[in-house]
Amino acid sequence: MRAREMRDMTEKELHKKLAEYNQEKFKLRFQHATGQLENTQRIPTVKKNIARILTILRQKEMEQVNE
């Protein structure tokens, strides 16, 4: 998911997506530890998406404070 698409989402939707990505990251880490993970590149992708969501949430928070 691109940052542009995330910026169009509401805060509630972003929090929901954040929870989904955190759940996926947990599952991927568990699969990696047990040796069942096939696509190891998915872990950094999920981490980057989490960081993007947190950044966008912070930007929205700062916009509300400045208004």
Model confidence, pTM: 0.90
Write the CB contacts of 64 (distance below 8 Å, at least 6 apart in sequence): none
Domain range holding 46?
3-66
Q: How many domains does the chain have?
A: 1
- pLDDT score for 61: 94
- pLDDT score for 2: 86
| Residues in the chain, pLDDT under 50 | none
- pLDDT score for 48: 96
- pLDDT score for 67: 81
* Residue 6, burial from CB neighbour count under 10 angstroms (0-12, 13-18, 19+): middle
- Reduced to 3 DSSP states, what percent helix, strand and coil does the chain have, rounded to the nearest 5? 80, 0, 20
Q: What is the CATH number of the domain that holds 20?
A: 1.10.287.310
